[in-house]
A and B are shown apart, each in its own frame.
Chain A
Amino acid sequence: AIQMTQSPSSLSASVGDRVTITCRASQYIRNDLGWYQHKPGKAPKLLIYAASNLESGVPSRFSGSGSGTQFTLTISSLQPEDFATYYCLQDYIYPPAFGQGTKVEIK
């Protein structure tokens, strides 16, 4: 099975900061990767699909890039509502696999 390694596992940042989260696949996954935001007690939310496509309704401060084995989620200017845990999910090879998550906390 494919392993998805996210880094960092957690980070502290301030409102307005630029934040970058990386996801590395243990083997080639083309661009079959999505990014999800999850807040405690709530349903997870799709942010990015196919590595770089912004889901409808998601603020443009979120962006995704990468292909092959290395992927990045960037939040250009962190807002108070962005403090959450972020996950990547690959579906190039089944079973799909999530990264272990990156918790974004207030500095």
Chain B
Amino acid sequence: QVQLVESGGGVVQPGTSLRLSCAASGFNFTSYAMHWVRQAPGKGLEWVAVMSHDTTTEYYADSVNGRFTISRDNSKNTLSLQMNSLRTEDTAIYFCARGGYGSGSYLPLDYWGRGSLVTVSS
């Protein structure tokens, strides 16, 4: 069955960096776009970033553009999110999610992980 397991969360200070990972299994990882979505405490879901199945295309939310970088290793079935210059408002649970199949297809998000908590605090 499809499984997505996030890791790498923790407590960090503002201005520092953190790298999240998402281990995927149970499907052909190389065929699907992959996303990061977050939920700040007491807030709704916020889309963060997507990478196409073949790594050629990526998009970011305005709130993280220039600070976060999404990447994937199709040989290891792993999705990553490098988060730099972290701010207190980046505090959230970060979910990875499977997107669309094949070229030019990014949604819907049909499988999600349980999330990894990132806390940015001094």
Taking Cβ atoms with an 8 Å cutoff, the residues of A that contact B are: 1, 32, 34, 36, 38, 42-46, 49-50, 55, 85, 87, 89, 91, 94-101
In the docked arrangement, what's the CA distance between A34 and B60, Å?
A: 19
Residues in chain A near residue B111, CB distance under 8 A: 43
Residues in chain A near residue B45, CB distance under 8 A: 36, 38, 44, 87, 89, 98, 101
**Do A46 and B44 touch across chains, with their CB atoms under 8 A apart?**
no
**Do B44 and A87 touch across chains, with their CB atoms under 8 A apart?**
yes
Residues in chain A near residue B61, CB distance under 8 A: 95
Chain A nearest CB from B120 CB (Å) reads: 21
Q: Tell me if B112 is interfacial: C-beta within 8 Å of chain A.
A: yes
**Do A98 and B46 touch across chains, with their CB atoms under 8 A apart?**
yes
Contact partner of B109 (CB less than 8 A), chosen from A34, A94, A95, A99, is A34
Residues in chain B near residue A89, CB distance under 8 A: 45, 47, 107-109
Could you show 11 A-B contacts with beta carbons less than 8 Å apart?
Answer: A34-B108, A36-B45, A36-B109, A43-B114, A44-B97, A46-B109, A49-B107, A55-B110, A85-B44, A91-B106, A95-B47
A-B pairs with lowest CB-CB distance, top 7? A43-B112, A49-B108, A101-B44, A91-B107, A34-B108, A96-B47, A98-B45
Whose C-beta in chain B lies nearest to the C-beta of A98? B45
In the docked arrangement, what's the CA distance between A95 and B114, Å?
A: 23
Chain B nearest CB from A88 CB (Å) reads: 10
Taking Cβ atoms with an 8 Å cutoff, the residues of B that contact A are: 37, 44-47, 50, 59-62, 95, 97, 106-115
In the docked arrangement, what's the CA distance between A46 and B37, Å?
A: 14
In the docked arrangement, what's the CA distance between A85 and B59, Å?
A: 26
Sample of 5 more A-B contacts, CB < 8 Å, known A46-B110, A96-B107: A42-B114, A49-B107, A91-B106, A95-B60, A98-B44
Whose C-beta in chain A lies nearest to the C-beta of B113? A43
Max count, chain B CB within 10 A of own CB: residue among A1, A38, A46, A99: A46
